[in-house]
């Protein structure tokens, strides 16, 4: 492009010069050649010089590069010139510190999450180790949790079934599925809060991607859920309710639920590493959410208007519904799928930004 411009310029000059005598011509050409030589380095840096610095560089460096860049925007010789070229203006839009920082942090967060997922064998091993620790020196191991959960479901089922006067065939499977899933969700969130704090010794020793610790919590709880889910077919047997093929829909539902829990745990673990009194707040919020969500009570018992507030506006209800409804042989409403999907998308965007911005500080907070 520069060659072209140079050529056109020379053409214009030569046409104008045709009228002058030879000696003046020679002098002028000499001047022009000289001028070209001087400006051999373009007065503006080309855009390629401003590729974002490597993602693991400090914030400091990013800012200082930006400062240098600002300096370069004025001419090298300090004089004003023709307006900057097209290429520069494009980079200018993206080349502000906020964008640069965001871009860097997103790259860093994505890289960390990708490496964490690639090290699934480590996640699997750590999660298994946690579960196996409960088996050691105990004959039933994690099934203790299952037994207590089973007893609780039985008791609540009997009492509330009587109070609400609901048919057992409908209420008991509903309660069982709800309680089992709720215990999965709430422990995932609660243990997610402390996942980074608990892994402090590893974080301070080995450069393992931090998302591994979040995945470990989720994996451990998934394994425990696999223990607890045993109750559900037993309840179905007890009330003699068949399990249809549509129950398979709960598998994609569960995947979406886990996707949502992952971003929630990621954000919470970060906040809890910084503010240590947060887990208590989260625990009370979860307690409230438990009563607001139809787990112990059937949604059909709600009087008209209340349903809109307690069901449609409750994100936890939708998250629960995408897994529970297929298990109970019901259809999942499109609204539930959309809310869960939207939450996953929106939540992950926020989580990646926050994680990227503060990832490098986590080791300092612990």
Partner 1 sequence: MASINVALLIGSKKKTIMACIEFNNACVDFPIYNASARSLKKRLIQVATGGKISSNEQGRVIVRALEDLTFSLNDGDRVGLLGHNGAGKSTLLRLLSGVYAPSAGTASISGEVASLIDISLGIDPEASGRENIFMRGILLGMTKSDIAEKLEEIIEFSELGDFIDMPVRTYSSGMHLRLAFAVSTTIRPEILIMDEWLSVGDEGFKHKAEARMNELVEATSILVIASHSRDLVLHTCNRVIWLEHGKIKMDSDPETVTRAYFGH
Spell out, one character per residue from 68 to 107, where the chain touches partner 1: x when CB under 8 A holds, - when not. ----------------------------------------
Spell out, one character per residue from 202 to 221, where the chain touches partner 1: x when CB under 8 A holds, - when not. xxxxxxx-------------
- The residue to which tokens 């196996």 are assigned: 132
| Cβ partners under 8 Å of residue 211, min gap 6 | 112, 113, 116, 117, 266, 355
Distance CA 280, CA 284 (A): 6
Q: Is 274 in the site for partner 1 (CB under 8 A)?
A: yes
Distance CA 68, CA 347 (A): 36
Q: How far is the CB of 197 from partner 1 (least distance, A)?
A: 12
Question: In terms of CB distance, is 112 or 298 closer to partner 1?
Answer: 112
Which listed range, 6-14, 59-67, 239-247, 285-293, lies at the site for partner 1 (CB under 8 A)?
A: 59-67
Q: Is 132 in the site for partner 1 (CB under 8 A)?
A: yes
Question: In terms of CB distance, is 259 or 271 closer to partner 1?
Answer: 271
Q: Is 287 in the site for partner 1 (CB under 8 A)?
A: no
Smallest Cα–Cα separation from 177: which of 321, 15, 26? Answer: 321
The upper half-sphere exposure of residue 67, i.e. CA atoms within 13 Å in the direction of its Cβ, equals 6
**Contact residue for partner 1 among 24, 61, 287, 308 (CB under 8 A):** 61
Question: In terms of CB distance, is 23 or 201 closer to partner 1?
Answer: 201
Q: Is 275 in the site for partner 1 (CB under 8 A)?
A: yes
Q: Is 169 in the site for partner 1 (CB under 8 A)?
A: no
Smallest Cα–Cα separation from 222: which of 190, 175, 181? Answer: 181
DSSP-derived 3-state class of residue 21: coil
**Contact residue for partner 1 among 26, 46, 117, 125 (CB under 8 A):** 125
CA dihedral 340, 191, 250, 350 (to 10 degrees): 20
End-to-end CA distance of the chain: 54
Q: What's the DSSP call for residue 137?
A: T
Q: Is 156 in the site for partner 1 (CB under 8 A)?
A: no
Is-contact 62 100, C-beta < 8 A? yes
Which listed range, 56-64, 235-243, 260-268, 304-312, lies at the site for partner 1 (CB under 8 A)?
A: 56-64
**Residues in contact with partner 1 by the rule CB under 8 A:** 54, 56-61, 121-122, 125, 129, 132-133, 136-137, 201-208, 274-278, 281, 360, 363-365
């Amino acid at each position: 492009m520069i060659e072209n411009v140079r050529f056109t310029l020379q053409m214009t000059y030569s046409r104008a010069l045709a009228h002058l005598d030879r000696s003046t011509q020679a002098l002028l050409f000499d001047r022009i050649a000289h001028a070209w030589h001087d400006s051999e380095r373009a007065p503006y840096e080309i855009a390629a010089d401003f590729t974002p610095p490597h993602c693991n560089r400090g914030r400091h460096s990013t800012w200082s590069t930006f400062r240098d860049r600002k300096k370069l925007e004025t001419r090298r010789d300090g004089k004003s010139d023709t307006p900057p070229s097209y290429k520069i203006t494009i980079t200018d839009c993206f080349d502000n510190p906020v964008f640069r920082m965001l871009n860097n942090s997103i790259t860093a967060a994505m890289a960390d999450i990708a490496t964490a997922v690639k090290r699934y064998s480590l996640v699997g091993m750590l999660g298994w180790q946690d579960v196996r620790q409960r088996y050691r020196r105990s004959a039933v191991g994690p099934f203790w949790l299952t037994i207590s959960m089973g007893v609780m479901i039985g008791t609540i089922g009997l009492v509330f079934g009587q109070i609400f006067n609901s048919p057992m065939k409908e209420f008991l499977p509903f309660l069982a599925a709800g309680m089992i899933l709720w215990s999965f969700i709430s422990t995932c969130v609660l243990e997610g809060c402390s996942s980074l704090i608990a892994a402090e010794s590893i974080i301070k020793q080995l450069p393992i991607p931090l998302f591994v610790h979040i995945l470990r919590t989720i994996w451990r709880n998934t394994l425990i859920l696999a223990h607890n889910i045993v109750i559900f077919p037993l309840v179905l047997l007890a009330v003699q309710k068949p399990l249809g093929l549509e129950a398979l829909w709960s598998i994609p539902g569960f995947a979406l639920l886990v996707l949502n829990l992952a971003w929630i745990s990621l954000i919470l673990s970060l906040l809890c590493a910084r503010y240590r009194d947060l887990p208590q707040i989260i625990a009370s919020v979860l307690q409230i959410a438990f009563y607001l969500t139809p787990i112990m009570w059937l949604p059909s018992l709600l009087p008209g208007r209340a349903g809109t507030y307690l069901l449609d506006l409750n994100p936890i209800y939708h998250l629960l519904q995408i897994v529970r409804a297929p298990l109970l042989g019901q259809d999942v409403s499109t609204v539930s799928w959309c809310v869960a999907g939207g939450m996953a998308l929106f939540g992950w965007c926020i989580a990646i930004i926050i994680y990227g911005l503060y990832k490098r500080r986590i080791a300092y907070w612990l």
